[in-house]
C-alpha cells in the first residue's frame, strides 16, 4: 500500500481550465495557471473577548503548468497547518463565509 495518495487521487479535472481538490481550485486565466488558497485562522482577541476566525483569500501564481500550481497550493497548505495546527481551516474545512470560485 502506498504511503501517500497520488496527485490524480487528490485532484479532479472539472473542465479544461479548472482542477479542484479539498484545498481549493487551480484555474487557467490570463494565459497562466493560478491556485486559490482560501483559509481561516483563529486569532485571539486583543481585548480579552472570544477568539474569532479571520478569513484570508490569496491567489498563488502565475505558473506555466497546472501541476506547479497544485504543488504550490499543497506546500502552502502544509505550511499553514504546521504553523497554526488546529487553529486553521483550509478549503472545504472552512465555514461557508467565503463564497464560491469567482468567474474567470
Using a pLDDT cut of 70, give the percent of the chain over it.
88
Query: What does the pLDDT read at residue 56?
Result: 95
Query: What does the pLDDT read at residue 1?
Result: 44
Residue 103 lies in a domain: no
Residue 53 lies in a domain: yes
At 70-91, the pLDDT tens digits run 999 999 999 999 999 999 999 9
Residue 29 lies in a domain: yes
With beta carbons less than 8 A apart as the criterion, state whether 37 and 77 touch: yes
Query: What does the pLDDT read at residue 3?
Result: 65
Split into its structural domains, the chain has a count of 1
Residue 86 lies in a domain: yes
The 3-state DSSP class for residue 24 equals: coil
Residue 98 lies in a domain: no
Residue 101 lies in a domain: no
Averaged pLDDT of the chain: 89
Residue 67 lies in a domain: yes
> Mean pLDDT throughout 38-62?
91
Helix, strand, coil shares, percent, the chain, to 5? 30, 40, 35
Q: For residue 43, what are the domain limits? A: 7-93
In the chain, count H helices and then E strands: 2, 6
Residue 64 lies in a domain: yes
Amino acid at each position: 500500500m502506498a504511503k501517500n495518495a497520488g496527485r490524480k487521487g487528490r485532484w479532479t479535472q472539472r473542465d479544461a481550465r479548472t482542477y479542484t481538490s479539498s484545498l481549493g481550485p487551480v484555474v487557467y486565466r490570463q494565459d497562466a495557471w493560478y491556485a486559490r488558497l482560501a483559509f481561516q485562522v483563529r486569532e485571539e482577541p486583543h481585548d480579552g473577548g472570544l477568539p474569532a476566525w479571520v478569513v484570508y483569500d490569496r491567489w498563488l501564481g502565475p505558473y506555466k503548468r497546472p501541476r506547479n500550481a497544485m504543488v504550490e497550493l499543497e506546500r502552502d497548505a502544509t505550511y499553514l497547518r504546521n504553523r497554526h495546527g488546529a487553529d486553521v481551516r483550509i478549503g472545504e474545512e472552512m465555514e461557508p463565509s467565503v463564497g464560491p470560485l469567482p468567474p474567470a
